[in-house]
Structure 1
Amino acid sequence: MNIKSYLIILIVITFLVSCGDDVLPKPKAMLRLEYPESPLENLVTEKFQFEHNSQAIIKKNKNFSVTLDYPLMKGSIFITYKEVDNNLEELLADAQKLSYEHVVKADNITEQPFVNEKDGVYGMFYEVLGDAASQAQFYVTDSTQHFVTGSLYFRAKPNYDSIYPAAIYLQKDIRKIMESLRWRE
């Protein structure tokens, strides 16, 4: 066999090997993270009490403040207590200002009022959409003695697409905290 024959055989083999189905890119998909429903536990401080997710690790801080830590999600809900002493307007302004400090990075901030007249708990829940540092903020008060604020933060660079499932899960926990919060006299 001469070189011409080897060359023809090589070309024919190349065509036979290269023939086949076209390579198609895989369709885009989203990661599906599911978090288990968890039983609720009651947390009692000297000033207030509420139900929380039993997966949270509780850290009681000074001045009746509490941190609910969720290590698997790398997130925490920080809850701060302040007494109302003829400064309700100032406390409300600070809570609203804190929520709207995230407007620079947020795509949208949705306000959801909360009213529980029976137990004297009134407040606002702020859902923060986008790559903001906090994905949720809230405050509750009885308007005369007690004022509680809360914030949800993740120990990760804010990337809304990545933390979305965990943010939704913990926002449900925050709503449960607001709904079950009772003042202690």
Structure 2
Amino acid sequence: MDKRNLICLLALVLMFSACRQEGYTPKPRGYFRIEFPEKAYKPYTSDCPFSFRIPVYANVSADTSANARPCWMDVAFPGFNARIHFSYWPIQSGKMLYQLVEDSRDLAFKHTIKATAIDEQLIIRPEKDMYGIVYNIRGNTASSLQFFLTDSTSHYVRGALYFHEEPRIDSIRPVLEFIRSDIDSLIASFRWK
């Protein structure tokens, strides 16, 4: 074998042996670790006809959008880039209540395109004049949780949780579960004045 063939053979052996990478596995995309604050709550009251408890790491501000009405507000979770949008409607007739409930259902089910499931949890507490539905919306949707509460005669409140991030349920799930317990506390403590 001459020198030129030996060099070509050696180059081929090195080229084929260099392509083997045994044991290599690409690493999945990582996310930042989130430090959750300790759960603690404070009462929220205003001139609106309702009150409730909010976490100490959240704050309430009036809705400043162009179509905002009295008692529309946002409960912001600045550490998590999340917000619950609240809208309040005084009920003037049974027909109006029916329309508000249907609107709430329609707004929740608009997420059907991206949702993998929408679960409904009924709220029936006649001793507190509290009725409503919590919509748990699963999947990569803009809003993961929505609800409405009413006394069925005079008051109606609707809330929708939004993360101001691109909806990736894998990355939001720990925060969603953390805030979900805060929303459960808010609903449990909700009172009409």
Consecutive unaligned residues of structure 1, counting only runs of 5 or more, are: none
Residue 23 of structure 1: how far off its partner (Å): 3.3
Matched, 1:102 2:111: yes
Q: One-letter code of the match for 2:44?
A: L
State the Cα distance separating 1:29 from its structure 2 match: 8.7
- % same residue: 29
Query: Which has the higher mean CA deviation after the structures are superposed, 160-169 or 131-140?
Result: 160-169
Partner of 1:59: 61
Q: Equivalents in 2 of 1:33, 1:26: separation in Å?
A: 24
Equivalent pair of 2:146/2:159 in contact (CA under 8 Å): yes
* TM-score, normalised with respect to structure 1: 0.83
1:70 aligns with 2:72: no
- 2:66 maps to which residue? none
Provide the C-alpha distance between the structure 1 equivalents of 2:136 and 2:189, rounded to a whole number of angstroms.
19
Q: Secondary structure at the match of 2:184?
A: helix
In the TM superposition, residue 114 of structure 1 has moved relative to its aligned partner by 1.1
CA distance in structure 1 between the partners assigned to 2:30 and 2:112 by the alignment: 26
* Conserved 8 A contact 1:34-1:165: no
Shift of 1:25: 2.1
Q: Does 1:42 align with 2:49?
A: no
Matches within 5 A, 1:14-25: 22-25=22-25
Q: Are 1:82 and 2:89 counterparts?
A: yes
Name the structure 2 match of 1:162: 171
User: Which digits, 9 at most, give the CA deviation of each residue in 1:139-183, with x for residues without a partner?
Assistant: 000000000000000111111111111111122211111111000
